[in-house]
Amino acid sequence: MRVAIINLEGMFTGDLAAPWRDDAGLLLEEGRITALGTPDAATLEACDVVVDAAGAIAAPGLIDSHVHITFGDYTPRQRTVGFLESYVHGGVTTAISASEVHVPGRPRDPAGVMALAMAAEACFRSYRPGGMRVLAGSVILEPGLAAEDFTRMRAAGVRLAKAGFGDFATPFDYAAPMGWARAAGMITTMHTGGSSIPGSAGIWAEHVLAADPHVSFHVNGGPVAMPEPGFARLVEEGRMALQICTAGNLRTALLTARLLAGAGQLERLLVATDTPTGSGVMPLGMLYTITHLASLGGMAPEIAFACATGNNARVYGLCSGILAPGRDADVILLDAAAGGAMGDARAAIANGDIPAVAAVLAAGVPCFVGRSRNTPAPTRAVRVAQCRLLRDFA
């Protein structure tokens, strides 16, 4: 499928090095971005779909790097069907599993946790709820796993390993299996903060530094934050990415962003939601945290978007997250919400207002064009201007 987006005000690129571009168009072909800028008349005529952005802003699809996937588009924690498809209407085009810990009766033995991770990974290889890409299958580290188990899981497709819910005597005991997971080529993640579910324990800065994961999960608390001195320690002594989540402590989320900015290390800041949990299903969670960073933390909206897109993509090795030729064509269109005080999405986010999601395209295919069912209507009339397909993207 060939899709063109025209009449943009500009774009949040998702790239910290150049977070804003003035380009007025995008060309998407066979699931990839092929060109920035307005296509010529002949190219537009040959497109299957042309979306008129009417002055809205383009951005990479949001990458929520902390979603508690189970199986299918269902969360047992909140007994909700269709939550992932609903997240697409919040601009999320990729969800990354924070482990399948919410599966009822989840196993705790080595064979069981391996089987759970491999099954989840396999189930989401081609299943895209609402068009969303899901990176599932995160093995929950338990005593008894051996180095060769991680090699076997990686060969089967499992890319993620999670520390925080295993039956270890102390959190320091995660260091060895985390090292085995890294050696096998997995991305390692670690619960950070107070206890979140029965069986979990508080994990603080000293534990995270000892295990040295790729990502310190919900460093601002999931939902309870670690002791205050730990934040500076992780910034100054660690190298791992620090993930802040909507379902955590807002004050320490802003503290984390401020410390990383002061250290010149904003590339380590990741935005996620940590949902569905006791905090519920939050389709607009990513947008809320972005607006908090911009309106309360003083961060430029385009920088906040890069932390929710390109930064996540780099840490997790994804081809999405940045608007550039050759990247996955996961694109959203944003506008100021109708009736709001600001004239465009950039100003609205800086003001603390949730932007209207006017369109979402995943892998180059429109999921919807016009308005999201989870945000107010956009100020501008974003529409399909040309369509050669027997499909309605309204």
Please report the pLDDT score of residue 196 as a whole number. Answer: 60
Query: Do 380 and 56 contact (CB within 8 A), yes or no?
Result: yes
Strand partners, 63: 94
Percent of the chain at pLDDT exceeding 70: 98
Task: State whether 90 and 24 are in the same domain.
Answer: no
Please report the pLDDT score of residue 21 as a whole number. Answer: 98
Please report the pLDDT score of residue 195 as a whole number. Answer: 73
Task: With respect to residue 294, please indicate whether it lies within any of the assigned structural domains.
Answer: no
Give the number of domains in the chain. 2
Tens of pLDDT, residue by residue over 219-234, are 999 899 999 999 999 9
| Distances, alpha carbon 158 to alpha carbons 20, 140, 143, 145, in Å | 34, 12, 19, 15
Taking Cα atoms as reference points, which of 331, 372, 332, 376 lies closest to residue 353?
A: 376
Phi, psi at 114, each rounded to 5°: -65, -45
Task: State whether 152 and 219 are in the same domain.
Answer: yes
Phi, psi at 242, each rounded to 5°: -110, 115
With H, G, I as helix, E, B as strand and everything else as coil, classify residue 252. helix
Tens of pLDDT, residue by residue over 117-129, are 999 999 999 999 9
In what side-by-side order are the strands of the sheet with 62-67?
A: 62-67, 92-97, 133-135
Task: With respect to residue 316, please indicate whether it lies within any of the assigned structural domains.
Answer: no
pLDDT band at 198 (very low <50, low <70, confident <90, very high): low
Residue 197 clears pLDDT 70, i.e. is over it: no
Q: Which two tokens stand for residue 160?
A: 């993620």
Tens of pLDDT, residue by residue over 310-368, are 999 999 999 999 999 999 999 999 999 999 999 999 999 999 999 999 999 999 999 99
pLDDT band at 391 (very low <50, low <70, confident <90, very high): confident
Residue 147 clears pLDDT 90, i.e. is over it: yes
Task: State whether 257 and 334 are in the same domain.
Answer: no
Query: Do 316 and 329 contact (CB within 8 A), yes or no?
Result: no
> For residue 298, is it left (φ>0), alpha (ψ between -120 and 50) or beta?
left
Task: With respect to residue 303, please indicate whether it lies within any of the assigned structural domains.
Answer: no
Query: Do 274 and 283 contact (CB within 8 A), yes or no?
Result: no
Measure the N-to-C terminal CA separation of the chain; round to a whole number of Å: 18
Residue 199 clears pLDDT 60, i.e. is over it: no
Residue that is last in its domain, among 236, 260, 283:
283
Task: State whether 123 and 254 are in the same domain.
Answer: yes
Length of the chain: 394
Please report the pLDDT score of residue 388 as a whole number. Answer: 94
pLDDT band at 202 (very low <50, low <70, confident <90, very high): confident
Task: State whether 105 and 239 are in the same domain.
Answer: yes
Residue that is last in its domain, among 234, 266, 283:
283
Task: State whether 250 and 267 are in the same domain.
Answer: yes
Burial (Cβ within 10 Å: 0-12, 13-18, ≥19) of residue 266:
middle
pLDDT band at 74 (very low <50, low <70, confident <90, very high): very high
Longest Cα–Cα distance of the chain, Å, equals: 66
Tens of pLDDT, residue by residue over 234-250, are 999 999 999 999 999 99
Please report the pLDDT score of residue 189 as a whole number. Answer: 98
Task: State whether 41 and 92 are in the same domain.
Answer: no
Task: State whether 168 and 238 are in the same domain.
Answer: yes
CATH number for position 352: 2.30.40.10
With H, G, I as helix, E, B as strand and everything else as coil, classify residue 117. helix
d(CA 134, CA 64): 10
pLDDT band at 302 (very low <50, low <70, confident <90, very high): very high
Task: State whether 242 and 352 are in the same domain.
Answer: no
Tens of pLDDT, residue by residue over 155-182, are 999 999 999 999 999 999 999 999 999 9
Residue 75 clears pLDDT 60, i.e. is over it: yes
CATH number for position 234: 3.20.20.140
Task: With respect to residue 227, please indicate whether it lies within any of the assigned structural domains.
Answer: yes
Task: With respect to residue 144, please indicate whether it lies within any of the assigned structural domains.
Answer: yes
Q: What is the mean pLDDT of residues 62-81?
A: 97
Task: State whether 38 and 71 are in the same domain.
Answer: no
Task: With respect to residue 187, please indicate whether it lies within any of the assigned structural domains.
Answer: yes
Please report the pLDDT score of residue 10 as a whole number. Answer: 98
Task: With respect to residue 346, please indicate whether it lies within any of the assigned structural domains.
Answer: yes
Residue that is last in its domain, among 266, 283, 300:
283
- Structural domain span for residue 356: 2-60+322-387
Task: With respect to residue 394, please indicate whether it lies within any of the assigned structural domains.
Answer: no
Name the average pLDDT for the chain.
Answer: 96
Please report the pLDDT score of residue 200 as a whole number. Answer: 58
Tens of pLDDT, residue by residue over 187-196, are 999 999 987 6
Taking Cα atoms as reference points, which of 308, 284, 285, 300 lies closest to residue 350?
A: 300
Give the dihedral sign, CA 375/75/166/223.
Answer: positive
Residue 112 clears pLDDT 80, i.e. is over it: yes
Task: State whether 233 and 175 are in the same domain.
Answer: yes
Please report the pLDDT score of residue 394 as a whole number. Answer: 80
Q: What is the DSSP string of 12-41?
A: E-S-TTS-EE----EEEETTEEEEESPPPH
Task: State whether 116 and 133 are in the same domain.
Answer: yes
Taking Cα atoms as reference points, which of 374, 375, 294, 361 lies closest to residue 331?
A: 361
Q: Which two tokens stand for residue 334?
A: 């944003």
Strand partners, 74: 81
Please report the pLDDT score of residue 201 as a whole number. Answer: 67
Q: Which two tokens stand for residue 8?
A: 């943009």
